[in-house]
Amino acid sequence: MTAPARGAPVRGPLLLHHPVTIAPGAPVLEVAGVVRSSAVDGPGNRYVLFLQGCNFDCTACHNPTTIGRCDACGACVPVCPHGALSLPEPGVVAYDPAPCDRCKLCVTVCPIDADPAIRVVPVDVLVEEIRPLARFLSGVTVTGGEPTIQAGALAALFAALKADAGLGHLTTLVDTNGTLPPARWKPLLPVLDGAMVDLKAASSDLHQRLTGHDNVAVKETIRFLSSAGKLAEVRLLVVEGVTDTDEELAAWAEFVAAVDPGIPVRLMAFRHTGTRERARIWPETSPEAVDRVQERLTALGLTAVGSIGVSRR
Ligand code: SF4
Ligand code: SF4
């Protein structure tokens, strides 16, 4: 996901930092990280879970080490200065969270932008991780990476939250690239309050250049989630001279307006933070450029256009 910068990093004795026991058949999620308090990942104060793995390879990705899923090549193991990585058997890279200081040297050598220092966490452990925070939270947002790659376990997590007397008030959101087919969304919908979908470009050619994929499935998902009443918002990353041209904005507004002109639209400013070298060819997006896009989309008929994570000094 091309998420804006978030708050303070996680501190404290998280369950995620300790060894966990996984019962046979238990639903598990591959967790790249958590933020326990965020104001930019949906309404209110939210617990945010970052899942590992994405089927897009977006040039502008702010979390590129969540894209790959480790294939156990072993290249990162000797690089770790604290002995947190090992090869206990061929094809398996083991990660011990205890000595890891999150220096991230391992991810700098990975040829596929994977992170070996992720956790495979049972859903019931995540529920207990969230429980003591629940009275301060409005909800839980799952992002990544692309969270719907792990749709089955994601549905299990949301179902567990909804069924729990102490946690049922938490709203459940996903921040998605929109490529999951409608048939695979259906099991999620009863326990999902809404999806925030990135439509990175209305033109399929531009979408292909920005993500490595066309936008046919994304548009289908936006239509499907809107008709199901589960489309929380559509997001556009504003990259000056790339996604904010007159032609592109006209096509973007035409598509969204045809689905629902009142759907909340969230504009995000492109930032260099966290991106790879190839994204640095673009300048960071100014607040004025975001304002221009907001005015343009509003003039084109979208009635609920706003922005998030735009710093105005
Ligand atoms: S982030 Fe990677 S290299 Fe650094 S201590 Fe942890 S496992 Fe080792
Ligand atoms: S994280 Fe990357 S470098 Fe390390 S074992 Fe997995 S694929 Fe290889």
Who wins on pLDDT, 304 or 5? 304
Residue 5 in any domain: the answer is no
Share of the chain above pLDDT 90, in %: 79
Residues 127 and 217 in one domain: yes
Residue 259 in any domain: the answer is yes
Residues 122 and 260 in one domain: yes
> Exposure string (b/e) for 29-64, b if CB count within 10 Å is 16 or more?
bbbbbbbbebebbbbebbbbbbbbbbbbebbbbbbb
**Radius of gyration of the chain from Cα atoms?**
19
Atom 2, ligand 1: which residue's CA is nearest? 106
**pLDDT higher than threshold 90 for residue 310:** no
Residue 197 bridge partners (DSSP): 176, 234
Residues 201 and 290 in one domain: yes
Residue 14's pLDDT band (cuts 50, 70, 90): low
Q: What is the pLDDT of residue 312?
A: 63
Residues 187 and 122 in one domain: yes
Residue 6's pLDDT band (cuts 50, 70, 90): very low
CB 268 within 8 A of CB 293: no
DSSP string, 48-69: EEEES--S---TT-S-GGGT--
Ligand nearest to the CA of 114: 2
Residue 11's pLDDT band (cuts 50, 70, 90): very low
Distance (angstroms) between ligand 1 centre and the Cα of 184 equals 35
Q: Virtual CA dihedral for 68, 18, 76, 114, nearest 10 degrees?
A: 10
Residues 285 and 136 in one domain: yes
Who wins on pLDDT, 226 or 98? 226
Give the chain's domain count. 2
Residue 90's pLDDT band (cuts 50, 70, 90): confident
Ligand nearest to the CA of 75: 2
DSSP letter assigned to residue 172 = E
Who wins on pLDDT, 310 or 288? 288
Residue 2 in any domain: the answer is no
Distance (angstroms) between ligand 1 centre and the Cα of 72 equals 15
Tokens of 222: 């936006």
pLDDT in tens, 202-253: 999 999 999 999 999 999 999 999 999 999 999 999 999 999 999 999 999 9
Residue 298 in any domain: the answer is yes
Residues 82 and 173 in one domain: no
Ligand nearest to the CA of 68: 2
Residues 232 and 84 in one domain: no
Residues 224 and 90 in one domain: no
To which H or E segment does residue 262 belong? none
Cis (ω within 30 of 0) for the bond into 53?
no
Q: What is the pLDDT of residue 2?
A: 40
Residue 169's pLDDT band (cuts 50, 70, 90): very high
Cα distance between residue 170 and residue 185, in whole Å: 20
Tokens of 70: 């480790």
Domain closes at, from 109, 133, 165: 109
Residue 237 bridge partners (DSSP): 268
Name the average pLDDT for the chain. 91
CA distances from 52 to 88, 165, 179 (A): 22, 29, 16
Which CATH number goes with the domain that contains 248? 3.20.20.70
To which H or E segment does residue 87 belong? strand 85-89
Question: 105: Cβ below 6 Å to ligand 1?
Answer: yes
Q: What is the pLDDT of residue 12?
A: 40
Q: Virtual CA dihedral for 31, 35, 41, 43, nearest 10 degrees?
A: 120
Residues 261 and 198 in one domain: yes
Residues 136 and 283 in one domain: yes
Question: 86: Cβ below 6 Å to ligand 2?
Answer: no
Residues 81 and 181 in one domain: no
Instruction: Characterise 299 by phi-psi region: left (phi > 0), alpha (psi -120 to 50), beta (else).
Output: alpha
Residue 195's pLDDT band (cuts 50, 70, 90): very high
Distance (angstroms) between ligand 1 centre and the Cα of 124 equals 26
Q: What is the pLDDT of residue 293?
A: 98
Residue 262 in any domain: the answer is yes
Residue 6 in any domain: the answer is no
Q: Which domain holds residue 85?
A: 77-109
Determine which of 16-20, 149-153, 217-221 has the lowest per-residue pLDDT on average. Answer: 16-20
Question: 75: Cβ below 6 Å to ligand 2?
Answer: yes
Question: 116: Cβ below 6 Å to ligand 2?
Answer: yes
Distance (angstroms) between ligand 1 centre and the Cα of 105 equals 6
Q: Which of 67, 70, 59, 110 is nearest to 212 (CA)?
A: 59
Q: What is the pLDDT of residue 254?
A: 98
Residue 91's pLDDT band (cuts 50, 70, 90): confident
Residue 136 in any domain: the answer is yes
Cα distance between residue 295 and residue 290, in whole Å: 9
Tokens of 255: 């598509």
